[in-house]
Amino acid sequence: MAETAADAGEAGTGQPSMFHRAMLLATVTFVTMLYAMTVTIANVSLPQMQGSLSSTPDQIAWIVTSNIVATAVVTPIAGWLAALLGRRRLMITAILGFGVASVLCGMATSVPELVVYRVAQGAFGAPLVPLCQSIVIETFPAEQRGRVMSIWGTGVILGPIIAPALGGALSEAYNWRWVFFMLTPFTIVALIGALAFIRDNTKGEAPKLDWSGFIALAIGITALQLMLDRGERAGWFEAWEILIYAGLSLSAFWVFGVRNMTARRPFLNPVLLGDRNFVVGVILIFIFGMLNFTPITLLPTMLQNVQGFPDSIIGQILSARGAGTFLGFALMFLLAGIDPRIPMFFGLLLQAYGGWLMAGFGVNVSISQVLWATALQGLGVGFVWIPLSVVAFSTLPRALVPDGTSVFHLLRNMGSSIFISLTVALVIRQTKVSYSGLVEHVSPFKEAFRLPGAAEAWSLGNSAALRSLSYEIDRQATMIGYIDAFVMFTIMAALAAPLVFLVRTSRAL
């Protein structure tokens, strides 16, 4: 009865009741989980998609990066859309569009078609996370923000736990299309929650959007991503195609920068750059984005191509990363009074160590080794995400929160798409270089070919044995390519760790 009276009194002051706040938090957490599922859900079935759609490794990577790029392009206008349509209408529209696009992804018959639907999925899903984050920040008082953000953050990591395990099992039992079809019931639940508990539907106060700046930013991001995705296959700057993408990207970013500094109402508010914690926060979130999704994009194809692991095992491995992240979130909830720089620093070091373990993988790596490395990497993600989300907005004026969340998630998504493309290009390049180097050692005069086992299995005078030898060389070369990519990942995480001490903090989370 006391709680009911408190709720009624709270409602009488115009503030949401405790029950409504709890249900609102549950709704935005579930919606965030839905979006997080789509980021990782395709990864577990990338090898099966590659075979089914007859695509190359760089082409199949478009299925991941196209979704992230679409999200990055639309994210900056999430605040403007919320002001124009109202949070309720925007969230309902985004969830509906996301659900339809997910079904279409499962019905696609070619890589270009699937990429188009993944773009739509990313575009509709883009407003969901910044919208949910701004609702949490503005609904709860500052003293509760650390713990509430920990609860909301569970949506970010429950998705990567549920999606790979369930998606991997469905993909193995049926086919890769079910990793998209399985999103339908989750979408329906999210839609019911939004209809029931998202009440803010005010609109009409949206500021004028600088369309020139927005279009320039969209062109710049898209051209940059096309350059990175197509670079290795086209021959980088020896090809006119890549030169055109590079020139278009540079020109578009230059136009965006000029417009943003001179327009009366710029697309991205320059006042944001006056807040030190926010600036350091967006730098760190860009690097965090680079680190976050790269391992779960590389591991499925590596484990399938090098070891031949089935989709269900790959799904369990990716879920282990989500479990590590969940543990990190739980620990952050318990350590809510600690200096946020400490867990961020420790988390980045954990990611670096996890990457170093991955760089030590061999062609006969065991499941336990992969599980341990991915779980550690996930634990590092859990230690970084919550304190980074809090400190980036700790000193930002309330009126700038919607714009700030858009920029925050824009740079996170850009970091993910750029680094995934770079690491995939590195894998392809180093595989080719390593294969050429290993082939040079194939000679009947080599002592290794005179050993009894090698002489029988890899006889240079037998066509079947030569095919077996070529396959083994390709497997070894591919593994070297992935190792080099994990080394780059490790270096990036280690270099980012000291940057957390640029954050100014006068109080604990």
DSSP 373-423: HHHHHHHHHHHHHHHHHHHTTSSS-GGGHHHHHHHHHHHHHHHHHHHHHHH
pLDDT at 410: 82
From CA 253, how far away is CA 146, in angstroms rounded?
35
Q: Are residues 341 and 503 in contact, defined by beta-carbon separation less than 8 angstroms?
A: yes
* Per-residue CA distances from 373 to 44, 152, 313, 318, 508 (Å): 17, 26, 15, 11, 30
Residue type, position 234, single letter: A
Q: Which residues of the chain fall short of a pLDDT of 50?
A: 1-13, 507-509
pLDDT tens digits for 378-420? 899 889 988 888 888 888 887 787 778 778 878 888 888 888 8
pLDDT at 84: 81
CA atoms within 13 A on the CB side of 217: 26
From CA 462, how far away is CA 459, in angstroms rounded?
6
- Which residue matches tokens 């409504």? 20
Q: Are residues 197 and 116 in contact, defined by beta-carbon separation less than 8 angstroms?
A: no
From CA 321, how far away is CA 39, in angstroms rounded?
14
pLDDT at 181: 92
pLDDT at 458: 59
The token duo for 194 is 């939004």
How many CB atoms within 10 Å of residue 130? Answer: 24
From CA 235, how far away is CA 58, in angstroms rounded?
13
How many CB atoms within 10 Å of residue 371? Answer: 18
* Dihedral of alpha carbons 156, 159, 164, 167, sign: negative
Q: Are residues 98 and 127 in contact, defined by beta-carbon separation less than 8 angstroms?
A: no
Residue 258 C-alpha from the chain's centroid? 29
Q: Are residues 312 and 172 in contact, defined by beta-carbon separation less than 8 angstroms?
A: yes
Straight-line distance from the first to the last Cα atom of the chain, in angstroms, rounded to the nearest whole number: 32
- Which residue matches tokens 């992935």? 482
Q: Are residues 470 and 242 in contact, defined by beta-carbon separation less than 8 angstroms?
A: no
From CA 3, how far away is CA 68, in angstroms rounded?
43
Q: Are residues 356 and 467 in contact, defined by beta-carbon separation less than 8 angstroms?
A: no
Burial of 413-423, coded b for 16+ CB within 10 Å and e otherwise, reads: bbbbbbbbbbb
Residue type, position 162, single letter: I
Among 45, 368, 68, CA closest to 181: 45
